[in-house]
Each structure stands twice: as C-alpha cells, then as structure tokens.
Amino acid sequence: MTPIEQLPALPDEFHKAALALPEKVRVALPSLVTALQTADAMAQYDRRINADTASINAISHAKLLLQSHLGVLLAPPTPQESGARGGSKKGCAPTTHPLGRWTVTTYRKIADHAERIDEYAEKVVAANKELSPESPA
C-alpha cells in the first residue's frame, strides 16, 4: 500500500492526521540519528573484535540504507556546489551543511543508487558463501 493509499479519506480524519504529523516526525528523527550512530559505532567495534564477515556485511548494509535515505532528504546541490556553468569544484565555496561537503556529496551519490543496495548486499553474501573457510577473507 502506497503512502497516498494510507491517507484518511474523510476531511476530519485527514485534519487530525495532519495535525499529528509534526509530532510523529519529531519522534521518528531521533531514531534515524540513533540508528546511524549505532551503525557507525558497530562498524568501529567490529574492527576491534575482528567480527565475522556476515556481521560486518550486515552493518555495512544498514549504513548504506541509512545513508541513502539521508541523501534523498538532503537538498540538491546548488550550481556553485556542483561546479556548473564553468566553475570548478575546487574554486567553489564549501557547503554550510553541518554534515560537511564530502559527507553530503557521498550520501547524495549513495541515494542515486539506492535501488541497488539490497541487490549488492545479496551478491556480497553469495560471494562470501563461495569462499572456503581456509581462504583468506
């Protein structure tokens, strides 16, 4: 069911849902931030404990999913950021976004390929299954 199909049909119900929406967003946003922070922390910890490949891949998959959604939410680059109209990327002013220019650019690129993330994760799992336990990973 699409988000449009989930909308209340009656004006009164729609009005109530609209008024409740900002609070739902306020509640949901910290979960998104917490999920990304958790994924980052787990990625750092997996290196310390030499985690198994399946765990590392699952963490990477989760991070890519989160980053792709954030990339969709970020505003498109301005002509100055993208180097359009003959400007060079080196000469343009850095973004004022709190995430930083590199992170914003990376998240936007991941978002451009969001539909391929799950397919890629499946291919990684399949490739890891083909490796024998004796081979270096």
Q: How many residues does the chain have?
A: 137
User: Which residue did the predictor score with more confidence, 85 or 122?
Assistant: 122
Q: Can you list the alpha helix ranges (DSSP code H) found in the chain?
A: 3-6, 11-48, 53-73, 79-82, 101-112, 117-130
Contact 137, 128 (CB under 8 A): yes
In whole angstroms, what is the distance from residue 43 CA to residue 59 CA?
6
% of the chain beyond a pLDDT of 70: 76
Average pLDDT over residues 18-46: 88
Average pLDDT over residues 63-83: 82
pLDDT, position 92: 47
In whole angstroms, what is the distance from residue 50 CA to residue 43 CA?
11
Average pLDDT over residues 36-55: 90
pLDDT, position 111: 93
pLDDT, position 91: 44
For the segment 92-125, what is each residue's pLDDT rounded down to a tens digit? 445 566 778 888 899 999 999 999 999 999 999 8
pLDDT at 27 over 60: yes
pLDDT at 22 over 80: yes
Domain spans, the chain: 10-130
Q: Rounded mean pLDDT of the chain?
A: 80
